[in-house]
Chains A and B, each alone.
Chain A
Amino acid sequence: MKTTVQEILDQYPDAGRDSLIPILQQVQEKIGFLSEESVIEVGKYLKMPASKIFGVATFYNQFRFNQPGKYHVQVCRGTACHVLGSATVLDEIEKQLKIKTGQTTKDKLFSLEVVACIGACGLAPVISINGEFHAKVTTDMIKSIFDDYRNREE
């Protein structure tokens, strides 16, 4: 049986290294992140060393290297959010979830990503969890926000 990655690569006959980013984007769309196996598979196809692909992929914020959690938390670090304290919000989230940006919690429930601006500056500082926006977030609010999602699991 063909792997998901192979199915994507089939859409790129005679591809060169210039097709790398669209391929990686499609892989991430299909499996949610760039796994090590998928990077190696893409590398074999494009005749590129895995280290090079990893180098390119880590240059861009859009690529993830961990399986995303059930709830994907995006913290806005745009200018407006920054001015209103998104850095402390991010610190607190990392502390409470015990993960760093780009990682997924052990129970696979939450994953954390930093985004540049999600276009909701009026709600700053804003975080988005699976597309649901939480506005004017303060460090005190974070625990109850996550508890709410945890409760949905019970």
Chain B
Amino acid sequence: MNLTIEVNNNIITANQGDTILEALNQNGINVPTLCHIKGLFPTGACRMCVVEVAGRRNLVTACSEPVMNGMKIKTHSPRVIESRKTIVELLLSNHPDDCLYCERNGSCELQDLSEDLNIRERRISGQKNKYKLDVSSASIVRDPEKCILCGRCVRVCEEIEGVSAIEFVGRGSKTFIGTSFNHGLNLSTCVNCGQCIMVCPTGALKEKGHISEVKDMLANPEKTVVVQYAPSISVSLAEEFGLPGGQNMIGLMNAALRLMGFDFVFDTSFSADLTIMEEASELVHRVQNQGKLPMITSCCPGWIKYAEEFQSDLLENLSSCKSPQQMMGAIIKSYFAETEKIAPENIYSVSIMPCTAKKFEQQREEMIQNGISDVDAVLTTRELARMIRLYGIDINKLEPELADSPLGTRSSAGKIFGTSGGVMEAAIRSVHYFITGKEMVKFQVKAVRGLEGRKEAKINIGELEVGVAVVSGLKNAEILMEEIRNGRNDLHFIEVMACPGGCINGGGQPIGTDEKAVKSRMMSLYDIDEKDAIKVSHKNPYITELYDKFLGKPLGHKSHELLHTHYQKRDVN
């Protein structure tokens, strides 16, 4: 039912059941928010979104108040503005004054609000909080001094990821966001997904930076510095440079990486193809030999740590395949090192990922053989953008270049790994070929596409009906795993990604990523798939060559040594 309300003397319509904030936003009226996360239950805690409603004595929080017919609302009356201004002034009163040194300088919501509300003097001086920086995690750095206690990280961690590594600790002015018993994040249940960073309004949460190590290595003449980038990087980088979302920057990115001094530029989509060769073969093997089913993907390091902590009875269901990042790393330090005649210890292998959990994955002990790690440093999309600026590169003035051969050539199946459902679709394409010996008539598997948290389909491959499910956001994974534990047995293959929508919405992506941006990145990936000639991993000529010359066959001895791994239960609290 449509309601009519009056906002700032204009009549607008609203939907019954919406909050005031939703009604205002639908009509293009902006009200600032801090603690609000679209799609999650409102807390009304920060009171930034207050509006004046005629007949109500107190200001009303727009995010939590349902809209009612005939409401008369003022969104920017002097009283409302004064109230919002005081809230920000109070938040600033104990906030560190080091904007110039802050990671989020320029992308800070507190800074923006203070600017929007025209705050030009320190009216309220408070005692500064003194907390220790938590640098214990391989992925995420926490600075509680910069925290304004909006609680968005706590809610994302609990409601989207089902992890609850962090919580409000203490009371009143001594409240802070902490882990259980104030241990470092590394000892907590944190899965390193970085979704908390994506929702943090300030610099209280950020990735553990690897820029300075990479910079040093680029300047070291004894090192061959090799870089790989994940499928979703090329479609998210544009936003960091103010360009339209979803624009594919791959050629310009290759050029920029070479200008920075990377000796070889490779595409993780190539090793995504390799992952598909191994993972699809593993699935076929499990199906034909009564192996453990459903098989669950293992590309996402956030999901892997989560499974080791919370779903350890299902670890046998996980594919033993390493992730594309680690497969590429292993191939670079073996096959590539051999063919280029470079000692593996003189190769410095960098990966650019949309992900903070990849920083954790890179230093897992399973990913290091004889003291040589598959990958040496991981940069997020944000760090890549920072490096491009640091090296003074004007990305708009570059000429597009191709990645290096052979590890830079991909099929489009490897490229769609970047979006939720992509691994599934790429795997189905190859499984179909492996089982029937024929290619699919139409490669698109529409049922597993889209940004919904859970997608399911039944797909006929030869005489077999394959049940598949795709989930993103670990809370959705938790629900599905519970169904399996309770006896659900119609599924053969499950794809899990920790971040909602997959890597295009990863914890290492540009700050300010919203639904629209994620969607445009997804469209861009499927568009690339549409236009590409080679749409299946097993037809990537360089993959075939890699097996012929080096690996032998999928699931073979060499593959097991280099491309597969194992998992173990983790006791955390």
Q: Which residues of A contact B (CB under 8 A)?
A: 36, 39-40, 43, 49-55, 58-60, 65
Contacts of B167 in A (CB 8 A): 49, 51-52, 54-55
Contacts of A52 in B (CB 8 A): 164, 167
Known pairs A39-B180, A51-B189, A55-B168 / 13 extra A-B pairs, C-beta < 8 Å: A39-B573, A40-B573, A49-B158, A49-B164, A49-B189, A50-B180, A51-B164, A51-B167, A51-B180, A54-B180, A55-B167, A59-B171, A60-B171
Contacts of A53 in B (CB 8 A): 180
Do A58 and B180 touch across chains, with their CB atoms under 8 A apart?
A: no
From residue B154, how far is it (CB to closest CB) to chain A in Å? 9
Docked complex Cα distance between A52 and B169 (Å): 9
Count B interface residues, CB 8 Å. Answer: 17
Do B189 and A54 touch across chains, with their CB atoms under 8 A apart?
A: no
Which of chain B's residues has its CB closest to A61's CB? B171
Do A43 and B169 touch across chains, with their CB atoms under 8 A apart?
A: no
Q: Which residues of B from 154 to 196 have beta carbons under 8 Å from A?
A: 158, 163-171, 178-181, 188-189
Docked complex Cα distance between A40 and B189 (Å): 12
Partner of B169, one of A49, A54, A60: A54
- Binary CB contact string for chain B from 536 to 573 against chain A (1 if under 8 A, 0 otherwise): 00000000000000000000000000000000000001
Q: Which residues of B from 110 to 166 have beta carbons under 8 Å from A?
A: 158, 163-166
Which of chain B's residues has its CB closest to A40's CB? B573
Contacts of A39 in B (CB 8 A): 180-181, 573
Docked complex Cα distance between A43 and B573 (Å): 9
Do B170 and A59 touch across chains, with their CB atoms under 8 A apart?
A: yes
Contacts of B181 in A (CB 8 A): 36, 39, 50, 54, 65
Which A-B residue pairs are the 7 nearest by beta carbons?
A49-B164, A55-B167, A50-B180, A51-B167, A50-B573, A51-B180, A54-B180
Do A51 and B170 touch across chains, with their CB atoms under 8 A apart?
A: no
From residue B174, how far is it (CB to closest CB) to chain A in Å? 9
Docked complex Cα distance between A58 and B180 (Å): 10
Partner of A36, one of B169, B189, B573: B573
If the complex has contacts A49-B180, A49-B189, A51-B164, are A58 and B573 also in contact, measured as CB distance less than 8 A? no
Docked complex Cα distance between A40 and B181 (Å): 11
| Most A CB within 10 A of own CB, among B163, B169, B178 | B169
From residue B151, how far is it (CB to closest CB) to chain A in Å? 11
Contacts of B171 in A (CB 8 A): 58-60
Q: Which residues of B contact A (CB under 8 A)?
A: 158, 163-171, 178-181, 188-189, 573
Docked complex Cα distance between A55 and B149 (Å): 14
Do A58 and B189 touch across chains, with their CB atoms under 8 A apart?
A: no
Which of chain B's residues has its CB closest to A60's CB? B171
From residue B175, how far is it (CB to closest CB) to chain A in Å? 9
Docked complex Cα distance between A148 and B176 (Å): 38
Do A55 and B189 touch across chains, with their CB atoms under 8 A apart?
A: no
Contacts of A50 in B (CB 8 A): 180-181, 573
Which of chain A's residues has its CB closest to B572's CB? A50
From residue A52, how far is it (CB to closest CB) to chain B in Å? 5
Do B170 and A58 touch across chains, with their CB atoms under 8 A apart?
A: yes
From residue A102, how far is it (CB to closest CB) to chain B in Å? 11
Contacts of B158 in A (CB 8 A): 49
From residue A103, how far is it (CB to closest CB) to chain B in Å? 13
Contacts of A49 in B (CB 8 A): 158, 163-165, 167, 180, 189
Contacts of A36 in B (CB 8 A): 180-181, 573
Contacts of B168 in A (CB 8 A): 55
Docked complex Cα distance between A72 and B180 (Å): 25
Docked complex Cα distance between A39 and B181 (Å): 10
A and B contact pairs by CB, cutoff 8 A, 28 listed: A36-B573, A39-B180, A39-B181, A40-B573, A49-B164, A49-B165, A49-B167, A50-B180, A50-B573, A51-B165, A51-B167, A51-B179, A51-B189, A52-B164, A52-B167, A53-B180, A54-B167, A54-B169, A54-B178, A54-B179, A54-B180, A54-B181, A55-B168, A55-B169, A58-B170, A58-B171, A59-B171, A65-B181
Contacts of A51 in B (CB 8 A): 164-167, 178-180, 188-189
From residue B522, how far is it (CB to closest CB) to chain A in Å? 32
Docked complex Cα distance between A54 and B163 (Å): 15
From residue B573, how far is it (CB to closest CB) to chain A in Å? 4
Contacts of A54 in B (CB 8 A): 167, 169, 178-181
Which of chain B's residues has its CB closest to A57's CB? B169
Docked complex Cα distance between A59 and B175 (Å): 8
Contacts of B169 in A (CB 8 A): 54-55, 58
| Most A CB within 10 A of own CB, among B165, B171, B181 | B181
From residue A10, how far is it (CB to closest CB) to chain B in Å? 22
Contacts of B164 in A (CB 8 A): 49, 51-52
Which of chain B's residues has its CB closest to A41's CB? B573
Docked complex Cα distance between A53 and B188 (Å): 14
Contacts of B189 in A (CB 8 A): 49, 51
From residue B205, how far is it (CB to closest CB) to chain A in Å? 16
Which of chain B's residues has its CB closest to A36's CB? B181
Contacts of A40 in B (CB 8 A): 573
Which of chain A's residues has its CB closest to B188's CB? A51
Docked complex Cα distance between A110 and B168 (Å): 29
Docked complex Cα distance between A52 and B166 (Å): 8
Contacts of B180 in A (CB 8 A): 36, 39, 49-51, 53-54
From residue A50, how far is it (CB to closest CB) to chain B in Å? 4
Contacts of B179 in A (CB 8 A): 51, 54
Docked complex Cα distance between A36 and B180 (Å): 9
